[in-house]
């Protein structure tokens, strides 16, 4: 019988806080982490807002990362390493009592954030700051792990792919524990200018906290966020064997390609629907069992439209009864970190029995008529949930989580 994969630890950093607990509290309260950009002078840019991680993070991270190592990392890498350490602490893992050869690290990394706004980059630390394997490397070095350790890049689905690959390592019996997730920040002039040139970003600069409005008729593009999300995946037998606390079950997933366009999703959500169907099949879940969908929900015209169509294709008459919300309405689009951050939110939703809302939902789009949990969190008895991540280049992922105990 295939080994179950469970979540035994979580660590999260975003514009809403430095811990899973603080983030969850703010998400449930429907708070927005979006503000006018403070990290650099964005006044000349078309988009001047973002969901930035608070500057207090640097001080917070000193409890987790030595000064010497911090100097060889970008802020993005520091977020990843800090979130990883919090996740390991949460999981109460004693690596001395664990076979380190059966412990892996997989990080979703689009880039390490060594941009024009990154501080203290010198000739001597440039290579270490730049190399995209650095996050996985630092974490495996920290715990002296000897299993597979690598990064994966599938744009906005990167950390979801990292979780999927971690799932496979455990299911295939190659690993007992996988530290997986991702971190990202594109809050810099170059990236913002680039995305502005594609008309992808919201330019609702006057009311930052209301700018990210997934599924609304007046949505005008995504809002950049930043952060890190790390999950400890563990085989059920290993977790039970060491009496670990279990947050939830990672029941299955699908990772697919749309093979369609470098930026736009396939028409009418066809690729997204395929991904969700495959995920349900992989997890052995019937459509009627799904009680919540954490949407990719970017607040862009096409994604929100096609994702809604896709949900309808997959769930048919049930679609209108399944609550759907977008965490990006509050924490923005955390790009490479989105998959793992939103997986954490999904696990928390099932564990706590509360569904976070889609905030800023004031002007419904008549074509998009699902239940988007408008503005206020909701109590739930959901036992199964999906988390969607769809990246530029057509990289799709849907993760399936089950409440524990099932």
Residues found near other proteins in the complex (CB under 8 A): 66-68, 72, 124
Query: Which C-beta is closer to other proteins: that of 66 or that of 119?
Result: 66
Strands 226-235 and 292-294: unpaired
Residue closer to other proteins, measured from CB, 44 or 124: 124
What's the min distance (Å) between Cβ of 71 and other proteins?
8
Are the CB atoms for 295 and 389 separated by under 8 Å? no
Q: Rounded to the nearest whole angstrom, what is the least distance from the CB of residue 55 to other proteins in the complex? A: 22
Backbone torsion region of residue 190, taken as left when φ is above 0, otherwise alpha when ψ lies between -120 and 50, otherwise beta? alpha
Would residue 395 show up in a list of annotated catalytic residues for this protein?
no
Residue number with CB closer to other proteins (82 or 329): 82
CB 372, CB 215: distance < 8 Å: yes
103 is annotated as an active-site residue: no
Q: What is the dihedral of CA 294, 296, 297, 303, to 10 degrees?
A: -140
* Cis amide linkage into residue 48, ω under 30° from 0: no
Q: How far apart are CA 332 and CA 381, in angstroms?
A: 27
Closer of 135 and 246 to other proteins (Cβ): 135
Minimum distance, C-beta of residue 134 to other proteins, in the bound complex (Å)? 14
Nearer to other proteins, 85 or 305 (CB): 85
Nearer to other proteins, 67 or 119 (CB): 67
Residue 107 phi/psi, 5-degree rounding, is -120, 135
Marked catalytic residue, from 156, 175, 180, 238: 156
CB of 95 to other proteins, least distance (A): 17
State the catalytic residue, choosing from 80, 103, 238, 296. 296
Q: Which of 225, 194, 200, 190 is nearest to 337 (CA)?
A: 225
Catalytic residue selected from 80, 103, 175, 333 = 333
Q: How far apart are CA 385 and CA 289, in angstroms?
A: 9
- Reply yes or no on whether 80 is catalytic: no
* Minimum distance of other proteins from residue 67's CB (angstroms): 6
β pairing state of 177-185 and 103-108: parallel
CA angle 319, 322, 328 (to 5 degrees): 105
Please state the closest distance from residue 66 (CB atom) to other proteins, in A. 6
Contact 265, 246 (CB under 8 A): no
Residues with catalytic function: 156, 296, 333
């Amino acid at each position: 019988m295939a080994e179950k994969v469970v979540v035994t630890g979580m660590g999260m950093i975003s514009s809403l806080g430095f811990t899973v607990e603080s983030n969850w509290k703010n998400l449930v309260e429907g708070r927005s982490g979006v503000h006018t950009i403070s990290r650099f002078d964005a006044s000349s840019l078309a988009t001047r807002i973002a969901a930035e991680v608070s500057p207090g993070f640097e001080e917070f991270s000193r409890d987790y990362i030595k000064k010497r190592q911090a100097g060889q990392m970008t802020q993005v890498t520091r977020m990843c390493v800090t979130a990883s350490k919090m996740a390991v602490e949460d999981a109460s893992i004693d690596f001395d009592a664990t076979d380190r050869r059966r412990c892996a690290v997989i990080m979703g990394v689009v880039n390490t954030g060594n941009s024009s706004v990154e501080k203290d980059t010198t000739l001597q630390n440039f290579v270490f700051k730049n190399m995209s394997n650095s996050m996985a490397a630092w974490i495996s070095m920290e715990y002296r792990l000897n299993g597979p350790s690598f990064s994966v890049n599938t744009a906005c689905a990167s950390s979801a792919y990292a979780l999927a690959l971690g799932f496979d390592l455990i299911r295939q019996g190659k690993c007992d524990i996988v530290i997986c997730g991702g971190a990202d920040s594109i809050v810099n002039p170059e990236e913002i200018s680039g995305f502005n040139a594609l008309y992808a970003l919201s330019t609702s600069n006057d009311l930052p906290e209301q700018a990210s409005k997934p599924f609304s008729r007046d949505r005008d593009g995504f809002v950049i966020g930043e952060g890190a999300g790390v999950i400890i995946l563990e085989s059920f037998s290993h977790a039970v064997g060491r009496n670990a606390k279990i947050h939830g079950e990672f029941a299955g997933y699908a990772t697919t390609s749309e093979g369609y366009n470098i930026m736009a999703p396939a028409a009418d959500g066809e690729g997204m629907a395929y991904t969700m169907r495959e995920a349900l099949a992989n997890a052995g879940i019937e459509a009627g069992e799904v009680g919540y969908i954490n949407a990719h929900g970017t607040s862009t015209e096409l994604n929100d439209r096609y994702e809604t169509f896709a949900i309808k294709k997959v769930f048919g008459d049930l679609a209108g009864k399944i609550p759907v919300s977008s965490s990006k309405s509050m924490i923005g689009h955390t790009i490479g970190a989105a998959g793992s951050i939103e997986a954490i939110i999904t696990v928390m939703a099932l564990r706590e029995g509360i569904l976070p809302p889609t905030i800023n939902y004031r002007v419904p789009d008549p074509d998009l008529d699902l239940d988007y949990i408008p503005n206020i969190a909701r109590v739930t008895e959901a036992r199964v949930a999906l988390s969607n991540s769809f990246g530029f280049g057509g990289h799709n992922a849907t993760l399936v989580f089950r409440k524990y105990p099932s």
